[in-house]
Structures are given as structure tokens and as C-alpha cells.
Structure 1
Amino acid sequence: MTAQAGAPTAARADLCRITVRGRDGSEEVFDIRRNDLLLKAAIEQGIDYPHNCRVGVCGTCKTRLVSGRVSPMVDLALSPLKNEEIEAGYVLACQAKVRGDLVVEAKLGHHALLPVKTVSARVSRWHKLPGDVIDLRLKCDEPVHFHAGQYCTIAESGSFTRRSYSYYDVPPIDEDAPATEVGFLVKRLPGGRFSEWLFEQDRTGTKFWIEGPYGIMGVDDVDVDGLCVAGGTGLAPILSIVGERLRKSSKARFTIVFGVRTRADIFANERLNQLLAEAGDRVRLITILSHEPQGSDWKGPRGLVTAALTPDLGVDYTSVAGFLCGNLAMVEAVEGRLIELGVDPDRIHADKFVPSGTP
């Protein structure tokens, strides 16, 4: 993909000069090596570039190419970009190999971007929950910083199998005293190399590596009411975001729509009940079951999570911020439904799970 206008030139022949124009008039200029991925290089240089999944699924890093040339790593027809966006010159920064000097436009933020770092850790808690989920906690050998809604990659020491999971913890109040232990919710996936290994036996004491943090899902006005929709272990970043906002805001209220297959799959009662007890009437929980047997005595709602998103839900769709996390199909369906109901697309923050190995 090529545009006509020229871009400032890097000082060295093996480097490319990148000029990123923000929608608010801000501008970032930096150099990267030819054939490097635009987003990866920007993050490594501390540029507050919008991103979440980093694998070409979520669309958060969409970027308009003003001048220069990139090579997409994925077929744009299979990307979350709309046809009109592709025709207007948009690419996904996480999948764009830089071929020369560039000028691009992106929604640069003010997210207090945290540096990505790698730390060693050991499993301090390995606890099986209902629904084939493990509550995995890691004790870090050095403190780690993260924002609510962010995620990291984790791997057993010595293994090349790395997987991404969202923190479910609320970040520490004191930013000068970062977390020394972090937790994740890991769903067992049939055939999944990491999750099957994790479920084989109690892994307490096993050494891990953590790399992160990544993502900007939790960014929005802390005083805005939140509508949170979680599918399965997509509940993890929701717990983090809601917990932090309850602490930072005295007035924001939250509705959490939590979807699992059956009542036997409700895996987070302990943490949800703790959150509800601390929040009082500021948090409302709606648990919806998609595959609960018809003959059961379940009195709650049934169906996909979108079935709970109606005009009668009791939220002002025109003013809420949406926080969505779950599998790709679920999140895309919820995004479409919320827009139909009047939610501002710029206030919908999504984290889409795509299992490793999925085409």
C-alpha cells in the first residue's frame, strides 16, 4: 500500500523515519528498522500507540497511511477493518511491516503508557475452579506495574509456549508500590498446549516468566457509568476495571453481564461476591446461561449475552462506556448490539480472545 506525499527521512540508510499524527494535533517522530512491525517498534520506544490484541483481531491499532509503504502481514479482507476503511488507506499497525519512511495518523492517547518488561515469578496459587478454569497466581521476583484491563504474556521457564492472559487484580493504589503478586483465570481448552499442561497437576512453585503489560482496554473517564460484558474468563479484566473504578470514582455505577454455558460453569463466585459486597448498590450482576438444561431450576436469564442487552436493561446506553471481553464472535456481536442501542462506538473498549492456533 503506497501513498504519494513524502515523509521526513531518517538519518541512517537502514532506518525508517516514522511520523505519527494524533487526532488531537499531537505528533510523534521516531526511527525504526526497515521490515520491523510498526506497532511493536512504537511500543518498544515508549510511544503511546493504541493497541490491544497485537495479533490483527481487535482493530484497536487501526492506522491511516498518509504516505509511505507497508506490507500487511495478514489479508486485509480477513481483518476487522471495514471495506471503506481499507479504501481510505487504513492498516493495522500490529500487522504492518514498514518498508520505508512513513507518515501515518492514529488515535494517540494519554494512557500513561507503562514500559514493557520481563520478570521471573513462581506459582503461588494453583486452584481449580468450576467450569475447567484455574485461578493461577504468580509471585513475582520483582514488582510489576500494570493498568486495569491490561494483559501480559506468561510462559513456564524453559518453554517456548507463551500465552496471553489479563490480570484480574486491581492495580495497587500507590503507584510507587507496584504489585508483587498477580492473578489470572485460565480456561482449559481441549488440545491447548499451555492449558492442558497447566491442568495436568498442581503447578505450585513452578517458575514462570511474565512479559508486559500490554493493551489499553480500561481507558475512559473514571466517573462514567460502565456496562461490562464478559464471556467466560473474559471476566478477568472486568474484575480489574470495575474494582479500580469503584476506588477512583465516588459516583460511577456498573452493570456486569456475565455469560457462561451452564450453572456448573459459574467459576468466580468468590471474587464476584467480594466485589458486590464492597460495591454495595453501585454494581449490578446479571449472570446469563447459554446452554443450561431446560429442566433445571435456574431462575436467571438464558441465552447468549446479547439477549440481556435490551432497552429494558436499565442503563442509559447513550452515556455509558462499554467494556467487553470474551471470544471474538461474542465481542463482535455485542459491539454491534451496543451500537444499535445507542452506545458511542468510541466508548466501546473490547478485548477479543482468539485461542492460539486459530486461523
Structure 2
Amino acid sequence: MLDTEKRVERIDASNTAQCTIRLKSGESFSVHKNELLLMGALRQGISYPHTCTVGTCGRCKTKLSHGRISPLVDFALSPLTNRELEQGYVLACQAKVRTDLDIDVTLLDHDLILPRPMAGEITGWRLLEGDVIDLRVRFDEAFTFQPGQYGALAVSGSYVRRSFSFYDPAPGPEGTREVGFLIKRLPQGRFSDWLARFDRRGVRIWMEAPFGQMGIDDVARDAVCIGGGTGISPVLSIAHDRLTRFPKNKVIIIFGVRSQADLFALDKLDAVKQRAPKNVTILPILSHEPAGSAWRGRRGLVTDAINENLKTDLTKAAAFVCGNLPMVVAVEDRLKVLGMPEDQIHADKFEPSGL
């Protein structure tokens, strides 16, 4: 998805034994025994809160009142706080269902687009600054997605699946067949290194999509969009959506990379700016630019660009943040210090798979 590759785990749900999931609200649904709680819910179109699906964002936290699950990760090392752990919270994306469960979670009040598998062909391959590939894929059938969502990609015949966000504007109800991704080449990255070695146009590829809910915010208010590295990809999609739905509100985009040599998305950011020059502000910031260079723009971490000079009331704005885990956590803390309520911060955190 992003400035790195993100692994999407799947559990075999072929077991026909069923477990009943009862919500505090009185609703209930069934999942396969040994299926991940979140995936079982999404499979049935249930609007279960989630973003990353791999245990880093904490969006799917769920209070377990009764029943038994098997965690795929140590929840003590997850985004759950000590207090939440003591109260019985688990991450639905990492909870393998063992028995009937009683849970407390607030479902979302909008319709969910069900993830589904589809096949396509790589139609665009372009190596950008910073060892980033601009990948475009045309699928055999149309599909739709919401701004900020992502798909899990795999080369046809491969079991290596990695998730990357769409940078295109979200399509209308008729859907789209072609989408683009910004993919950072990682040392020893099994997908990204393979992708970057040669022009891969014409190669068949498989995708399951869409996933995630980062871009959902239906209130007409200013948006502060922050992307670190290829975390700018979902930010581009979200920015286009905000300008379409709320043309009177400001969109401020902070794009953080290491140096001028990594400014791979300036053309796409300029396209956003051209849609509404008076309402869009683009703020590139470089964290490791040499001191003696000709760069006259901002230097520092993305948090250094979040201040009172943004010309928006942060207490009333919404934030959309995507990047590596430490960056996103630092941005969230900075926004809260400056008065932004937590429920107005929408974030997607990711960590390298290392494979």
C-alpha cells in the first residue's frame, strides 16, 4: 500500500463449523470457526470498522465480553493500551474465532463495498524519483472503491500478496477498470524488487479489493492531508474527493520525503492544485536534504509543518494521515496538541514486511 509493502494475512475459512457473533446492540452474524473475526464480517458486507487489516492501526478494536479467540499477534505489542487490554479489547483483524462470541463494537453507518478478487494486466510502468514505481493496472471487469482505500496485489500464480493504495480519484457507481499505485522499491522486497527490475507492462496480475476506510469523513470542513513517502498515494485520492464534494473548503497537503531526489509525486500534487488553486495548498518538506543544497522549501519532519500557520482551524478540520507507524503516531500526537479532536483524525499506519 504505500511507502512500504504491507502483508495481508488470510486464514483458511473452509471449515464448515459456524460460530455466532453477538453484538451488544442485539445484532448477530455467523463466521466460520477459525476465521478472522474482521474478515468474516467483511465477507458478509458488515460495515465493521477497519483500515489496515494487519494489526497496526487499531481501528478494528473490539471489546470481547464472552467467548474465546486465538490472537495472531501479541496484543500487548499492538495499538491497544494497557487499560483496553485489561477491559478485554482485541483486534478483530488478528482474532481467530474459536467459539461463539459476545462483543461490543460500533459498526459504521455507511454501506460497505465488499472486497472481491479480480484479474488484470499491467498497462503502465514508470520509474519515478526516489526508486518509486508508478504502476497502472487494467482489470478485466469494472469495480468501485472509496477514497483512501487499497487493494492486495499478487502476480498471477504467486502467493506473495502486498497491499497498496489507489491514487486515482474514486470512481462513480459505474466503477473503473484501470487504477494506479505508487510503489516504493524495498531492498529484498519480494514484490517491489521484482516489479522494479524491468518494465512489467503486459504481465497478468491479481487483486483483491477494496479494503480500508481511512478516507471516510462526510462533514464539509477543511482537510489537512499528510503523506509520508508513498503514503501520499491515498492522500491524492482523498484530496480529489474532498474537492469534488466540498469545493468551498480548503485542502492542505503536506508531503514528506527525505530529499529533493525523492519528490516523485509533484506532478500529481500539481494536478490537485490546478483543480482549485485558491483552496489547495501543497507543502513539500524534506527531512534529510543536505544543508548546502539549493532547496529553498521547508526542511524537517512532517510534524514541523503542522503549526498555526496552516491557515485553518485545526479544532474544526479533519486530518487524513498515511505513512510509516512512527510518523503517523507523531502526527496524531501533534494534531491533538494543537486541538484537533481524535475522532477527526483518520490514519493509515504501516510497517515494512521485510520480505
TM range (shorter): over 0.9
Match of 2:20 in 1: 17
Match of 2:164 in 1: 165
User: Which ranges of structure 2 fall in alignment gaps of 5 or more residues?
Assistant: 1-15
How high is the TM-score relative to the length of structure 1? 0.92
Q: Secondary structure at the match of 2:83?
A: helix
Match of 1:322 in 2: 319
Runs of 4 or more consecutive aligned structure 1 residues displaced over 6 Å after TM superposition: none
Amino acid at match of 1:301: R
Q: Secondary structure at the match of 1:280?
A: coil
Match of 1:247 in 2: 244
Give me the whole-angstrom Cα distance separating, in 1, the residues matched to 2:260 and 2:122: 29
Amino acid at match of 1:194: F
> Relative CO higher for 1 or 2, CA cutoff 8 Å, sep ≥ 6?
2
Does residue 308 (structure 1) correspond to residue 305 (structure 2)? The answer is: yes
How high is the TM-score relative to the length of structure 2? 0.93
Give me the whole-angstrom Cα distance separating, in 2, the residues matched to 1:124 and 1:222: 36
Match of 1:5 in 2: none
Give me the whole-angstrom Cα distance separating, in 2, the residues matched to 1:119 and 1:60: 26
Match of 1:62 in 2: 61
Shift of 1:217: 0.5
Amino acid at match of 2:306: L
Taking the TM superposition and a 5 Å limit, the aligned residue runs for 1:261-276 are 261-276=258-273
Match of 1:117 in 2: 116
Amino acid at match of 1:167: F
Q: Which moved more, 1:29-38 or 1:52-61?
A: 29-38
Paired residues of 1:56 and 1:92 also in contact (CA < 8 A): yes
Does residue 181 (structure 1) correspond to residue 178 (structure 2)? The answer is: yes
Any idea what the Cα deviations from partners look like across 1:113-161, whole Å, max 9, x if unmatched?
0011111110111011111111100011100111110001011111111
Give me the whole-angstrom Cα distance separating, in 2, the residues matched to 1:198 and 1:135: 10
Shift of 1:222: 4.4
Q: Which moved more, 1:106-115 or 1:228-237?
A: 106-115
Shift of 1:111: 2.9
Give me the whole-angstrom Cα distance separating, in 1, the residues matched to 2:116 and 2:27: 22
C-alpha change, 1:262 and 1:27, in structure 2 (3 Å) is farther
Paired residues of 2:20 and 2:29 also in contact (CA < 8 A): yes
Q: How many pairs are equivalent? A: 340
User: Which ranges of structure 1 fall in alignment gaps of 5 or more residues?
Assistant: 1-12
Any idea what the Cα deviations from partners look like across 1:179-225, whole Å, max 9, x if unmatched?
11000000011111111111111001110001110000011124121
Shift of 1:84: 1.0
- Fraction of identical pairs, as percent: 52
Does residue 343 (structure 1) correspond to residue 340 (structure 2)? The answer is: yes
Q: Secondary structure at the match of 1:104?
A: strand
Match of 1:49 in 2: 48
C-alpha change, 1:27 and 1:304, in structure 2 (3 Å) is farther
Q: CA RMSD in A?
A: 1.4
Amino acid at match of 1:15: Q
Q: Secondary structure at the match of 2:277?
A: helix
